[in-house]
């Protein structure tokens, strides 16, 4: 069993050897400058996106998850952050179009930076990890289907939160004070 853990950790580490830090910093700047943020992803990617939304909320940012009944209007000054690891989901492309038409900017997190959804993004955050789009060709991850991408999203997002926390001057105590007490 320990071999599986080590193999998975090594694969995630390899992803981050190939991440462009300047691209990540551009995404962090885009988030820091946004007046209002909406987030969406599908499937397990969507779960990682909800985790990002929660952490942005802990930082004190105005953030909502698309589909929640309290999601506000997103227009000029707003930012839509979406995930399409394999490069295209019809729902993601549709939301990107609506956001752009309303004047919001769009940040796409994907493993396929040249795929269709990238055409609609103001910034493409490339996370070079296996997804279900490429889990049958070439070198295959020890993790099933798109799990390598999803696991890398978790690490990426938590590291981005640390950078945002520093950039915005939010203390760990302030983040904790924004955590729910209704558990």
Taking Cα atoms as reference points, which of 134, 147, 111 lies closest to residue 11?
147
More confident residue, 148 or 95: 95
Backbone angles phi, psi at 40, to 5 degrees: -155, 145
How big is the chain, counted in residues? 183
Between CA 114 and CA 117 the distance in angstroms is 8
High-pLDDT (> 90) share of the chain, %: 84
Q: What is the pLDDT of residue 40?
A: 98
Q: What is the pLDDT of residue 136?
A: 62
Query: 33, 101, 119, 150: which is the annotated catalytic residue?
Result: 150
Q: Is there a catalytic annotation at residue 150?
A: yes
Q: What is the pLDDT of residues 73-130, one digit of tens each?
A: 999 999 999 999 999 999 999 999 999 999 999 999 999 999 999 999 999 999 998 7
Q: What is the pLDDT of residue 60?
A: 98
- CB atoms near residue 7 (< 10 Å): 13
Q: What is the pLDDT of residue 138?
A: 66
**CA dihedral sign of residues 9, 14, 20, 23:** negative
C-alpha distance from residue 62 to each of 72, 111, 180 (Å): 10, 27, 15
């Amino acid at each position: 069993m320990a071999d599986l853990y080590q193999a998975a950790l090594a694969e995630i580490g390899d992803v981050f050897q190939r991440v462009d830090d300047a691209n990540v910093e551009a995404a962090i700047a885009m988030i820091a400058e946004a007046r209002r943020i909406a987030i969406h992803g599908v499937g397990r990617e969507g779960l990682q996106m909800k985790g990002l939304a929660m952490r942005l909320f802990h930082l004190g940012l105005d953030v909502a998850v698309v589909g929640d009944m309290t999601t506000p209007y997103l227009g000029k000054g707003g930012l839509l952050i979406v995930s399409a690891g394999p490069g295209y989901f019809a729902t993601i492309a549709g939301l990107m179009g609506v956001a752009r038409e309303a004047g919001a900017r769009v940040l796409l997190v994907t493993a396929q930076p040249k795929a269709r959804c990238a055409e609609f993004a103001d910034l493409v955050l490339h996370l070079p990890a296996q997804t279900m789009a490429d889990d049958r060709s070439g070198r295959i991850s020890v993790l099933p289907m798109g799990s390598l991408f999803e696991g890398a999203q978790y690490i990426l997002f938590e590291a981005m939160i640390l950078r945002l926390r520093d950039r915005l001057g939010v203390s760990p105590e302030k983040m904790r004070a924004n955590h729910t007490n209704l558990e």
